[in-house]
C-alpha cells in the first residue's frame, strides 16, 4: 500500500462546477499536510497547507480528518486556470521531516 494515495482522475468538470479531491495516508504519525499544484511540464508549487480545523483560501477549502487519515480539497466555482494536477503531500515526523507525495489527481476544467 502506498503511503499517500490519491484518485488519479482525470476529473473533467465544466467551468463553475464544484469538485472535490480526497487523499488518504497510511502513517498515523504524519505531522503536516499540504496540497501542491503542478501544471503540465512544470514544477509543483504549494497551493495550501491543511490544518486540523479546516481552512479556506478563496475558492479552495482544505480539510483534515486525522481519525480516518484522509485530507480533502474542495474547489468551488472552477476556472479554466484551475486545470492542473493536484498533489497531496504529507510530512513524516523526525528531524528531516520528509515529504511524501501522492501521485496526483488530474483536473481539467472545460469551457
Partner 1 sequence: NAGVTQTPKFQVLKTGQSMTLQCAQDMNHEYMSWYRQDPGMGLRLIHYSVGAGITDQGEVPNGYNVSRSTTEDFPLRLLSAAPSQTSVYFCASRRDGGNTIYFGEGSWLTVV
Kindly write out the interface string for residues 29-58 of this chain, putting x where it contacts partner 1 by CB under 8 A and - elsewhere.
---x-x------xxxxxx--x---------
Q: Is-contact 35 92, C-beta < 8 A?
A: no
- Residue 103 as a binder of partner 1 (CB under 8 A): the answer is yes
Instruction: Report helix, strand or coil for 81.
Output: helix
Task: Work out how close the CB of 28 gets to partner 1 at its nearest, in angstroms, rounded to a whole number.
Answer: 19
Select from 63, 8, 56 the least CA-distant residue to 33. Answer: 63
| Contacting residue, 19, 71, 73, 87, with partner 1 by CB under 8 A | 87
Whether omega for the bond prior to residue 82 falls within 30 degrees of 0, making it cis, is: no
> What does the chain come to in residues?
111
Query: Which chain residues interact with partner 1 by CB under 8 A?
Result: 4, 8, 32, 34, 41-46, 49, 87, 91, 95-96, 98-99, 101-104
Amino acid at each position: 500500500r502506498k503511503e499517500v494515495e490519491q484518485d488519479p482522475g482525470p476529473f473533467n468538470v465544466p467551468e463553475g462546477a464544484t469538485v472535490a479531491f480526497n487523499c488518504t495516508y497510511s502513517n498515523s504519525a504524519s505531522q503536516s499536510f499540504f496540497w501542491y499544484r503542478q501544471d503540465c511540464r512544470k514544477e509543483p508549487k504549494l497551493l495550501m497547507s491543511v490544518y486540523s480545523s479546516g481552512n479556506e483560501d478563496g475558492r479552495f477549502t482544505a480539510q483534515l480528518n486525522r481519525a480516518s487519515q484522509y485530507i480533502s480539497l474542495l474547489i468551488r466555482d472552477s476556472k479554466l486556470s484551475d486545470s492542473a494536477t493536484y498533489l497531496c503531500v504529507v510530512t513524516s515526523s523526525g528531524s528531516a521531516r520528509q515529504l511524501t507525495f501522492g501521485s496526483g489527481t488530474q483536473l481539467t476544467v472545460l469551457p
